[in-house]
Structure 1
């Protein structure tokens, strides 16, 4: 069962650190239900997480504007 941690827990589970708050983990159903019932985690439905795009870097925007401006200027040599 996949759950999303609501809190960051200290310690380890089977030698691995618990995921931080907001991250997901797959656990056996009984263990996951126990964490959900105690308010430490919430069940994640079967919908996969969506990766979102980010805005271009401002340096890229600036470079694009400079190239466009240079292309518009007539050569006066």
Structure 2
């Protein structure tokens, strides 16, 4: 199953209490919007929604620093 950008943005706003606007290219970790504690929840959401497992070695800024990067990463797992 894929992960939709809209679902991810909704999760960030509603569950992690991130103030909108969040665009597809908003830097989530580099900007300090999210931290390591948020990352744990985010990974759980992604794994559940996309029905996949994320290996710890793949948890990098390259894969997780924006909604676009997360969606592209999850798509590459299929």
After TM superposition, the score normalised by the length of structure 2 is 0.31
Give the number of the structure whose alpha-carbon radius of gyration is greater. 1
Structure ranking higher on relative contact order (CA contacts 8 Å, 6+ apart): 2
After TM superposition, the score normalised by the length of structure 1 is 0.31
Higher strand share: 1
Higher helix share: 2
